[in-house]
Chains A and B, each alone.
Chain A
């Protein structure tokens, strides 16, 4: 018959401080088991096992650049698609650009610009110290 503490251990219930203390002491009392388990023979891996592992690792090494290349390739395709969309989008907007102005409008515009620049030059020249002596 199991006593209540062993029942609780088997059911993995939370233990009180007193029970935890008992458990720590009981574990110390089982140290010969730990010693015996640590002395169990170690099944060492054979050379054939190691060779097979090396083969699998080589496969993993070769697979990684392929995965990276695929990722980079997909990234490149995505960027190219975005760029293409942007360019085709510009073409679409080109349709909305207004018609070029007539020759007459261009000449009037150029004349207006020239007038403004002459006025600016004249205003600037008033500050010329050479004029002050006049």
Chain B
């Protein structure tokens, strides 16, 4: 990731409080470039991170992330404030990811979960309540988790990233993805089950390799 500076995002809460956000949006509507710059400052890393993980193509993701902010700037006068600015930005980001995937001829899967065997994995792992950190050290675990996020279907990845990484609620995600809240929960469960499966698989392989 040459174009990025590695930053650990430990705080996932909204970077702008509602009052500041409202004031900045009002200033942006009067073509205040400095106010929009502050919005970019607050969200750029999160939007870039989200788009990079969604598209899994760094160069394209960087371009799309810029497009997100240009689109936001051009259509901020249409932002009605019913959703938070964060939700609105992620919706633009998601729509652009879908557009870009379609243009590449690789449409985001919308209906079936096709090849993902998450159901099986969920059945075996969900109730186990084991903690892989007892087995893996932090960095190693994160690497396995990162790989598992990259290998799940895009619609599961969308829900996992928005909920577990960006801290969005079920309703907000439902609005962004255009799906019912129940479906958001189902997808989140399956996405996490996929991560669990990958981590457990990795631990099993390590254990197998270390056997005398």
Residues of chain A whose beta carbon lies under 8 Å from any beta carbon of chain B: 1-3, 6-7, 9-12, 14-15, 20, 23-24, 26-27, 29-30, 32-34, 36-46, 48-50, 52-53, 56-57, 60-61, 64
State whether A20 touches B182 (Cβ < 8 A). yes
Write out, one digit per residue, whether chain B residues 34-65 have a CB within 8 A of any chain A CB (1) or not (0): 00100010001110110010000000001001
**If A6-B120, A30-B192, A49-B3 touch, does A42 touch B49 (CB 8 Å cutoff)?**
yes
A-B contacts besides A1-B120, A6-B118, 18 pairs, CB < 8 Å = A2-B119, A9-B189, A26-B122, A26-B126, A29-B127, A30-B193, A37-B160, A38-B167, A41-B8, A42-B9, A44-B7, A44-B45, A45-B3, A46-B4, A49-B3, A53-B44, A53-B66, A53-B70
Most buried by B among A50, A53, A64: A53
Name the residue of chain A whose CB is nearest to the CB of B46: A42
Chain B residues in 8 Å Cβ range of A45? 3-5, 44-45, 48, 65
Task: State which of B19-27, B82-90, B128-136, B204-212 sits at the interface with chain A.
Answer: B128-136
- Main secondary structure, interface of A, reads helix
State whether B185 touches A24 (Cβ < 8 A). yes
State whether A64 touches B119 (Cβ < 8 A). no
Name the residue of chain B whose CB is nearest to the CB of A64: B74
